[in-house]
Copies of this chain bind each other. A is one copy, B any other.
């Protein structure tokens, strides 16, 4: 559907500089946009594509607005403005309510009238499913689970028993919520399973990526607060708690009972040890290993970027020989001390 730039600007609260009657029908990247498209510039590395863009309009910051050869929607946060424009031009398709005949629904499941349950999905006993929930094909909703209104399980999602999902939660394929925590007691060399009796509580407006796993708690629940965003392939262990609006990138792992505060960002592949307390507004860069609690807001790192292997081998050898280096430094200090002393009386 076509939108007038003037209408779009008004809807998203941006300042339009250009022809309000110009119409756009889609979003595009700067470098391959065609007329009829609206693009955006939110990362200076793509500035080089601005001059030649064929887009009908560009969403841009005030500082760069006058460099655009075409109409602009000016916004202090062009990426956010773009997200809103994209939502208007390409709205999520509405689904048709209905329960597919190949799905298997427990008799005592409590299911709102206007949900969609796709083929080959299984809703176990005692589940509660709110209004406008979408459950795609191949999903399993374990006994006693609860899914708040307008949440969406895309496909092949598994909720184990006692999963409590908030409203407007989006869960991508292959995600597993509420699997047993890794609780083991050692009995003279053999591992004895510690029963995992808790559940998982997921707040509202949470997004959970493909193949991400969130274990149930041992006694109490694992808790993911409102607005948390989890990328793909993340592992959240039992009794972890994640505070509001914290975002975690792919392949990160958080060990048991660690609590992460609000508004944190955790980079890809980061590992957090168990039983830590991470405060609010804390940011870990990619592949860092976190072995102690941090309460001071700020950025933390512990990763070594790759360099040419030859150079790296020398570095590793040097690191291995740091003790030797320190010994030689100390010896030299003593010797210079001695020299100095001898020298002084001269």
Contacts and interface: CB of A to CB of B under 8 A. Distances in A.
Interface of A: 27-29, 32, 43, 45, 77, 79-80, 82-84, 86-87, 90, 92, 100, 102, 104, 118-122, 124, 136-138, 140, 142, 154-156, 158, 160, 170, 172-174, 176, 179-180, 182-187, 189-195, 197, 207, 209-211, 213, 215, 219-220, 227, 229, 231-233, 235, 237, 245, 247, 249-251, 253, 255, 263, 268-269, 271, 273, 275, 284-292, 298-310, 312-316, 318-320, 322-323, 325-326, 328-329, 332-333, 335-336, 339-340, 342-343, 346
Contacts of A298: 308-309
A289 B301 contact: no
A232 B214 CA distance: 9
Contact of A301 (B43, B275, B312): B312
A302 B308 contact: no
B84 A192 contact: yes
Quick one: which of A273, A302, A332, A339 has the most chain B CB within 10 A?
A302
A148 B7 CA distance: 42
Given A82-B194, A83-B195, A251-B251, 18 more contacts: A77-B187, A104-B120, A122-B137, A138-B140, A138-B156, A140-B156, A170-B180, A173-B176, A180-B207, A184-B229, A189-B263, A235-B250, A271-B287, A287-B289, A290-B305, A329-B329, A332-B332, A336-B336
A324 to B, nearest CB: 10
Nearest to A338: B340
Contacts of A329: 325, 328-329, 332
A321 to B, nearest CB: 8
B140 A140 contact: no
B342 A339 contact: no
Contacts of A336: 332, 335-336, 339
List the number of copies, as a whole number: 3
Interface centre among A82, A122, A189, A318 (most CB of B within 10 A): A122
A168 to B, nearest CB: 10
A263 B251 CA distance: 24
A249 B255 contact: yes
Nearest to A206: B191
A194 B342 CA distance: 73
Contacts of A229: 182, 184, 191
A227 to B, nearest CB: 6
A232 B176 CA distance: 10
Contacts of A263: 189
Give the top 5 A-B pairs by smallest Cβ distance, nearest first.
A302-B306, A80-B185, A179-B210, A299-B309, A158-B173
Nearest to A275: B45
Contact of A29 (B220, B273, B291): B220
A39 to B, nearest CB: 9
Contact of A319 (B84, B304, B339, B342): B304
B287 A286 contact: no
Contacts of A172: 176, 179-180
A195 B325 contact: no
Contacts of A314: 323
B174 A158 contact: yes
Contact of A160 (B84, B173, B227, B310): B173
B227 A191 contact: yes
